[in-house]
Structures are given as C-alpha cells and as structure tokens.
Structure 1
Amino acid sequence: MNRTKIVGLCAIALAGVATAACQPIRETRGYIVDPVLTQSIQPGIDNQQSVAGTLGRPTFTSQFGEPTWYYVSSTTGRKPFVRPRIEQHQVLAVRFDAAGNVVAADRSGIDQVAYLRPDGDETPTLGRERTFLEDLFGNIGAVGAPGVGGQQQ
C-alpha cells in the first residue's frame, strides 16, 4: 500500500470514531413500558392483584385521596459532557375504588411535565441569619435558664 492510501484510511477511521463519540447516549429511567401490557388494563375487570401481576410494582402510589398507582417512564438522551435532556416521558396512572377494582387507567406524556427553575443558589427561610459562631455558642447560658423550658418551680 502506498502512503496516501494509509493516510486516507486513517482519516476515514478517525472521522468515524469522532462521529460515534458525538452520538447521544440514551438511558431509560423508571418503568420500562410494554404497550401490550399497559393496554391490557381494563376498568371494571382488573383489580390491584391483577394489575400488580401484569405490570409489577408501581413507581409510586398516591398518599391522599383515592388509591392510585403511578408507573413513570422517561427516556433521556445526552451527548458526552452535556446535561441529559428528556426525549420521551410517559405516566400511567391506574386509579382504584375502595374495593381495589380499577376505575380508570389514564395516560399522559411529556406535555404534562412542569419545568421548575430554582430562584438562585439559596433557599429562602424565615427568621434571621446566624453566623457560624452564633450557631456554635448560641445556646451557652440558655440551658436551664428561667422561662426557656425545663422544670418550673
């Protein structure tokens, strides 16, 4: 082989490696959605046991109101050294009645995602700001002082 062919092949190989390095890295987070299984949940027919047997344990459950199981799935893509971006997002909310029977199976997507921007680097709190030394020595003399707590005479 002559020298120009070797240099040309090396350049093509280097371009292929550089292109492969820029491909986004895809990650699936949360519940892995199987459309056949999620479509098989039927209100009035299924109950909590059948849903758990079909879909598995939920990502999280409701704490208040009617019992609801949430199956959350996100697919993110990121390029090297860049913050991940959500490409797909799905939520399956399975609502149950008091007897444990399925009332509804609602689906939502990325259109329902709320993006929050924090206000600065600090969390605002009530009260006054104390220095390190005030935190360290602030309770000296306050323990057992009248009107502060403890036993009253």
Structure 2
Amino acid sequence: MTVSASKTGNAARRRRRLRVTLAATLVCAAMAGCTGEQFQKGYILPPGALEQIQIGASQDQVLIVMGTPSTVATLNGEVFYYISQRANRPVAFMNQRVVDQRVIAIYFDKNRQVIRLANYGLKDGRIFDFISRTTPTSGQEISYLQPLFKLLSAN
C-alpha cells in the first residue's frame, strides 16, 4: 500500500467519525427538545416566607415579606390573596397538566394586623386549607375562593 492510499483511508475514517459524531449530536439535541418542562404561573412563594408572618404582624410587614398580593378583598377587614399554579408537560408538544394550584390568604382585622393565615389548594377536588387542615364552609370566604380556582383551572 502506498502512502497516499494510507492517507486517503485515514481521511475517510475521520470523515466517517465526524459524520457519526454529528449524527449523535443531532439526535441528542432532538431528544433534549422532547424532555419535560415545568411551568410556574402567578405568585412564587419564597422559601420560609409564611413562617415569617406571625399573627398580629402589620400589613406593612406582610408586604415586605410576601410582596404585592395578586388581589385584595374586603370581607370583614382586608384579605391579601397570593395566587399561583404549577403545571408540567412530560413531553414537548403535549398539553400542560396542572400539578398544583394555591391561593395563600392573609386575613387582617380593622387595625390592619394579621388575624389568620390560610394556604388553600385543591384536595380531592375540593378547596382545602393546608395550614388549618380544614375545608372552608360556605359563606363569603368560599364564595370568593371558588371563582379564583375556576379562573386558575381555565388557564
């Protein structure tokens, strides 16, 4: 075998390796596009934020710790609502699936001090407070929470 034939054989092997490497890279890039995604909509609760809010804290202290609420209501005093939803999509191009929906409610008295905290979510299809471990009864509170969860579900 001559030197030029040997060089031609080596060049062909290098081109083949380069093609295989490029093909593997393209397959990996295509597979990366198919992996699952996580989505967070609305308020993102900072770690440990709820633990920092004590009964009797002022409205200003709540705003410093939690930030601006998603919405505010006036029931028997004022209520700050922080609304969030987490969803995932296991494979690209599939529909999102809601994993968790939360409404954090901070209730204030007439003096603008915290009287109660609630972390509402859905459990068995019903609105549930994960702090007090209770399902709210009908009345002003539940009539305000139901549309919030329906609004979250529509998205």
TM-score (normalizing by structure 2): 0.61
Q: Give distance in 1, aligned partners of 2:18 and 2:68.
A: 56
Contact 2:45/2:66 (8 A) holds in 1: no
Please identify which structure carries the higher strand content. Answer: 2
Q: Please, what is the CA RMSD of the aligned residues? A: 2.6
Aligned to 1:102: 114
Deviation larger for 19-28 or 105-114:
105-114
Structure 1 residues 82 and 63: CA distance shift in structure 2, 3 A: farther
Aligned to 2:67: 56
Q: Give distance in 1, aligned partners of 2:153 and 2:61.
A: 36
TM-score (normalizing by structure 1): 0.62
Write the letter of the residue equivalent to 1:72.
Answer: I
Question: Which runs of 5 or more residues in structure 1 are unaligned?
Answer: 118-153
**Which fold has the larger relative contact order, with Cα–Cα distance below 8 Å and residues 6 or more apart in sequence?**
1
Q: Which runs of 4+ in 1 moved over 6 A?
A: none
Aligned to 2:79: 68
Shift of 1:71: 0.9
2:29 aligned with 1:22, yes or no? no
**Bigger radius of gyration, 1 or 2?**
1
Corresponding residue pairs, total: 116
Aligned to 1:33: 45
Question: Which runs of 5 or more residues in structure 2 are unaligned?
Answer: 1-10, 128-148
